[in-house]
Amino acid sequence: MLDIAQKIGDLPDFGQVLHVGSLPIVGRVFLAPMSGITDVTFRRIARRFGAAMVVSEMVACDDYAQGEREAVLRAQGQGVAPHVVQLAGCSPHWMGQAARLAEQSGAALIDINMGCPAKRVTGGYAGSALMRDLGVARALIEATVQAVRVPVSVKMRLGWDHDSLNAAELAHIAEDLGVAMVSVHGRTRQQFYKGSADWTAIRAVRDAVRIPVVANGDCRSLDDCHAMLRQSGADAIMVGRAALGQPWLVGGLSRALARAEPVQIPSRPTRMAAAIEHLQGLCSDFGALAGLRHARKHLNAYASMAGAPEALRLALVTTEDVSRAIAGLREIFGMEPVHTHEHEVEFA
């Protein structure tokens, strides 16, 4: 696997320290958990570029506890510190079992998913469906907290719909049960990802608890970071979909926020090295062909962010030859950029 550590270097710590239970987090911009996106290589790269914290893909607790291969791959954290595993489920028994296993495997923080809006998740009474039954949510939180010594956090939405905005109530319950941090996506489940995230509505959660609160939803820029913190009163921010194709963004925002400076973008050779490492990591985990297919959404995003023409993007996402995909990335990032990045730098 291509090692880009020499290009990026060991980034210094920066920003205020946020204490999540016994776990200190340096910086205020986190990478959000995203199914099919935040695999371990993506997280490792984002962390290396300075993301204050990165979170695994959502892991089904029963599958993970029973050793199902893909669930285990989703929960792995080699080279990531602190390692955060997000668990989803509706059974206190399996949540406790999975949390213990994650802790034994090196997780420094367990995150409980109570925010996923996908029908395949809510149909099983997990994810954001738990916001419709706070009794079950309470039982899941209690089982998880009691199963581990590491801190536990909960990620939620504002509520199931606008007639039941109960995030503040759920956050208060979570705090009473020993949860160390809550993250809130500024939409209801029924909104899915439509409309705009309501950052101001997150302030009700901030006012309801004393533990750290993280605001999530629609953060794409440094201006968004400032607005989210101001409107929500949150302690930190999670960046989700905007990081696809640019895992360096989260660290760039965290650094810029802490230092009151513009967001710095790595040089094209450094970004190319990161994209190739990501592809090779997926191929190592899933096998060459399955890894390449799994990588297509990422490859398309890397190419798009690099300004590649449509023909080159199409060739990149349709090839079933890893060496050709790597050659395609080299060609794309070797092109003259369409836009000049005013604050492009080489990390060293």
Positions annotated as catalytic residues are: 116
Instruction: Please answer whether residues 98 and 87 qualify as being in contact, where contact means their C-beta atoms are separated by less than 8 angstroms.
Output: yes
Per-residue CA distances from 197 to 188, 254, 287 (Å): 9, 20, 37
Facing residues of 345 across strands?
Answer: 266
**Strand pairing report for 236-239 and 265-266:** unpaired
344, containing H or E segment: strand 344-345
Q: Name the percent of the chain in helix, strand, coil, to the closest 5.
A: 50, 15, 35
Residue type, 72: V
* Residues 6 or more apart in contact with residue 121 via CB below 8 angstroms: 58, 88, 113, 127, 128, 129
Instruction: State how far the Cα of 281 lies from the Cα of 74, in Å rounded to an integer.
Output: 13
What residues does 154 pair with on adjacent strands?
A: 112, 182
Amino acid found at 16 = Q
Among the listed residues 263, 279, 165, the one whose alpha carbon sits nearest the alpha carbon of residue 222: 263
> CB-based contacts of 135: which residues, under 8 Å, 6+ apart?
none
Using CA atoms, how far residue 178 sits from 67, 103, 147, 148, in Å, is: 28, 17, 12, 11
Please report, for residues 79, 91, 110, 172, 297, the alpha-carbon distance to residue 151 in angstroms, rounded to integers and kept in the order given: 20, 20, 7, 16, 32
Give the relative orientation of helices 288-305 and 322-334 as an angle to the nearest 10 degrees.
Answer: 10
CA distance 172 to 166: 10
